[in-house]
Amino acid sequence: MSHWSLPRLSNGIGLLVLFTLGGLLAVLVELPYGGWIQISILSLVWWQISKYQSASFKNTFLLGLSFGLGYFALGLWWIFISLHDVGGMNAILSCLAVFLLAGLMAIYFACATLTFHFSRGSFFFGLLLAASWVVAEYLRGIIFTGFPWMGFAEAQFNGPFAPIAPFFGGLACTFLAVWISWEISQLKKNFLLKGACIISAIVLTQLASLWTFTKPLGEPLSVRLIQGNFEQSLKFNPKAIEGQFSFYTSAIESEPADLIITPETAYPWPQGNLPAGLLGSIQRFSTDTSSNVLLGVIGEASNSSEVKYTNRALGLSPNLSSYQYDKSHLVPFGEFIPPGFHWFVNAFHVPMSDFARGLLDQAPFSIIRSGKETINAAITICYEDVFGGELASRIQHSSKPVNLLINMTNLAWFGNSQAPTQQLRLSQLRSLETGLPALRATNTGITAVLGPDGKILAELPQFTQGVLRTNIQTYTGSTPYVFWGNAPILGLSCLLLILGFIRQRRI
């Protein structure tokens, strides 16, 4: 019998089942209580893989790969919109690009699934599987600059294990989701022991929500978040851009607020080429009304032998020099071109798709209020909200205490898809991890205000043009996760894997 011969796997049924479960998981986590649904489906995934008791190394890898391919192909299909509908790439090539990315991401799932091949039969197998998944997810977030989108953690914001995030971060949520889903899949074998593990983990995690590590600071901040709802296809149309400039400038100067924020690249021209007097007019408004303004612009990198652009947040405050934050963690192919891939980017015609990186240790934006305490805000631009460990490190090592998170985003690239809700959950998880409220200013949605627990306090409907006017209470203090980042959960996972490896060698 060939080493590829397995029940169902030989004719592809097993692979198809896992591909389907992966796609089903990607879709159903978007529903309310998606974190609970996630655990149920993962239990089915582990049960299905466990049926192949004699699976070879290659077959185990294929099982995990099939599950991951279904999960990411369905969860990341919106990339097709940016490549085909906005970028003008051929439809077949766009589909191929989505499946190639899904396949690359699925490799990490497949590697974690190999735990079934090496450690099957261990009493602590569920912990080893969870540890493998944590390490794989961590590596997915750093290799080739990382792409940790669609991790299990953000779904847990609407699941049972969210309260652990302020202590040990999103990776700890992933650990618990994988471990408990495995225990559920094994209930039939040892109902009392497995049931005790499941109930204890959920109860203890819920009790963790009783602890808070940050507290309110001073009086609430009045804010206005401007949502322009401009189509991405008009971004490089000069006449359309003039209308976009006019809308944002009028919206900014229509009334004062402690803080006014536009979305990412609301002014999609290089800062030095903006219409004469535009920035001066907004600066005068800031000074005259004691309003702090954050603009999304295209910055120009200094100290370079060639003209390099940056994705920039430009801050204007009363009677102060301007502040700037240049995006540090760039999107592969969208904001920087990896070596050897210029041919791919040339297939879709998007100017300025190779930006310069900002520094990792940029200072927060100080929001000045006359006669009141200064508020310091950590800024992220779009995709940077995915990297919880980086944000926690920035806050921990900040030159000023951070009281507020601000995310400026333009998801018009992805049309009417689940991308905005996926990123909203990421922002919610970042607030929960850091114990800080957040402001999200977006072009097409979801513009929202989040509390320090990540819950939505106010929001604008998607694909509408408007201004979200509200007040937000800022906070002071730090969560344990801000202090130690991912070190504890990574340390535990690596220790479990080392012990599992030692045990396997002795068998």
Residues contacting 270, CB < 8 A, separation 6+:
298, 299, 300, 309
pLDDT of residue 348: 52
Distance between CA 124 and CA 142 in Å, rounded? 28
Residue type present at position 68: G
Residues contacting 436, CB < 8 A, separation 6+:
214, 378, 395, 402, 403, 404, 405, 452, 475
pLDDT of residue 3: 45
Burial class (CB in 10 A: 0-12, 13-18, 19+), 399: exposed
Q: How many CB atoms lie within 10 A of CB 361?
A: 11
pLDDT of residue 233: 65
> How far is Cα of residue 144 from the mean position of the Cα atoms in its chain?
16
Residue whose entry in the numeric block shows the structure tokens 């974190």: 35
Widest Cα–Cα separation across the chain:
82
Q: What is the pLDDT along the chain (507 residues), one digit of tens a residue?
A: 444 444 445 457 889 999 999 999 999 999 999 999 999 999 999 999 988 766 688 888 999 999 999 999 999 999 888 888 777 788 898 899 899 999 999 999 999 999 988 766 667 899 999 999 999 999 999 998 889 999 999 999 999 999 999 999 999 999 999 999 999 999 988 889 899 999 999 999 999 999 999 999 999 999 999 999 998 766 667 788 888 999 999 999 999 999 999 999 999 888 888 998 999 999 999 999 999 999 999 998 766 566 688 999 999 999 888 999 999 888 776 666 665 555 555 555 555 556 788 888 899 999 999 888 899 999 999 989 999 999 999 999 998 999 999 999 998 888 888 999 999 999 999 999 999 999 999 999 899 999 999 999 999 999 999 999 999 999 999 999 999 999 999 999 999 999 988 877 776
What domains can you pick out in the chain, each with its CATH number?
Answer: 13-212+486-506 (no CATH), 217-478 (3.60.110.10)
Residues assigned a catalytic role: 264, 327, 382
pLDDT of residue 121: 62
R_g of the chain, CA atoms, integer Å = 24
Distance between CA 138 and CA 147 in Å, rounded? 10
Distance between CA 60 and CA 112 in Å, rounded? 10
Distance between CA 229 and CA 416 in Å, rounded? 12
pLDDT of residue 2: 44
pLDDT of residue 5: 46
pLDDT of residue 1: 40
Phi, psi of 394 (to 5 degrees): -60, -45
Angle at 410 between CA 405 and CA 414, to 5 degrees: 130
By C-alpha distance, which of 94, 149, 151 is closest to 420? Answer: 149
